[in-house]
Structure 1
Amino acid sequence: MADEEHDEAAARSFLTCAVEVACLMDLGNAADVPEASRARHLAHAVRKPLLERAHLPEELFAPLMAAAVYDPDPSFCLWFVEPAVYAFGRRRVMNALLDYLRTGTDAERAGAERAWYCAHVPLRADRSPAYAPDGRRDPALDESRDVMDAWRETLRASMRTNSR
């Protein structure tokens, strides 16, 4: 596939993901925004409402992870990863990204690697209402050492396979 075709397919995939997240948040699909900038417009529109909620519905988890993985700009995939980490926990987010790394397409694996960096976002009680009023949350949500070990092992195995 030519680079231009690949970029166009990736942009369409990201737009699909961004539309799904926005619709699940009842923010519409921004059909009045030109298609070339619609995905980024929607990503911007959902960022604040996602962070303002103490809880996110379960049906948002997979679309948030897909949007993070398909976002072509590593500077912006944080807009999907950060609220997912607060609402669903770092452990669950990292496990989802690990699944993309293990079983995804080349584009999905690359996107998972971009999003993995964002999954390490520092958590602050003043940043999200996902924390209890006393500023605490269940530490099991964020325990991820074993997932990080699995990530490193998966990368090593992939490198060994690719070097053959």
Structure 2
Amino acid sequence: MADGEHKEAEAPTFLSSAAEVARLLDLDTAASVPEDRRARHLAHAARKQLLERASLPEEFFAPLIAAAVYDPDPSFCRWFVEPAVYIFGRRRVLATLLSYLLTGTDAEQAGAKRAWYCAHVPLHADRSPAYAPGGRRDPALNEARDLVDRWREYAAVPDRIEA
């Protein structure tokens, strides 16, 4: 097998990313669900549990962002982005998406663009237990103006990113 074929075979997919999030949540792997619907099934099963958590271990961050980036449906990638923003902070999520934009494959760049849009979800204390009592939250978790500026600067150069 050529190197390019080997890398492609190991490349993450939406199914592998959603399955990793489900595994971390200790959810059923949905083996009885047809493979073409399994990723969406796992995403749906994980969604509510993710939003109900006040915190998640560090090991969740990369799989959540990968699932958001590899989700082919821009309407649903929010299921992974939103809990990541609430728990790990908008700044960290945007920094990781910017990294996908700068160094990712064409598919990863497209996925990062979809997820970037979702990462700007308005945050509400009553939506997530990730907020401290009284609706308080460290503002540094969400300060991302410099990242937004970098995204705009990079995306404005047409030969770097396709429109």
Could you state the TM-score of these two structures normalised by the residue count of structure 1? 0.89
SS state at 2:129 partner: coil
Which residue is 2:93 aligned to? 93
Equivalent residue runs for 1:1-164 within 5 Å: 13-157=13-157, 159-161=158-160
- Per the alignment, residue 6 of structure 1 pairs with none
Distance 1:83 1:33, change over 3 A: same
**Matched residue type, 2:84:** A
Question: Would the alpha carbon gap of residues 162 and 77 (structure 1) be closer, same or farther in structure 2, given more than 3 Å must change?
Answer: closer
Kindly state the Cα deviation for residue 160 of structure 1 after the two structures are TM-superposed. 4.0
Structure 2 Cα separation of the partners of residues 74 and 56 of structure 1: 24
CA contact (8 A) 2:155 2:161 kept: no
Residue 161 of structure 1 deviates from its aligned partner by 4.5
Letter in 2 for 1:43: A
SS of aligned partner of 2:76? coil
Q: Offset at 1:162?
A: 6.5
Residue by residue over 1:98-144, the C-alpha shift from the partner in whole angstroms, topping out at 9 and shown as x without a partner, is 00000000000000000000000000000000001111100000001
Q: What SS does structure 1 have at the residue aligned with 2:126? A: helix
Which residue number in structure 2 is paired with residue 4 of structure 1? none
Q: Distance in 2 between matches of 1:156 and 1:57?
A: 36
Distance 1:150 1:31, change over 3 A: same
Runs of 4+ in 1 over 3 A off after TM superposition: 160-163
The 2-side partners of 1:83 and 1:152 are apart by: 24
Structure 1: gaps of 5 or more residues: 1-8
Name the counterpart of 2:6. none
**Alpha carbons of 1:65 and 1:102: their partners in 2 closer, same or farther (altered >3 Å)?**
same
One-letter amino acid of the counterpart of residue 133, structure 2 = P
Q: Distance in 1 between matches of 2:121 and 2:96?
A: 16
Unpaired runs of 5+ residues, structure 2, are 1-8
Distance 1:161 1:142, change over 3 A: closer
SS in 2 for 1:111: helix
Residues 53 and 162 (structure 1), Cα distance of their counterparts in 2 relative to 1, 3 Å cut: closer
More helix by share: 1
C-alpha displacement of 1:156: 1.9
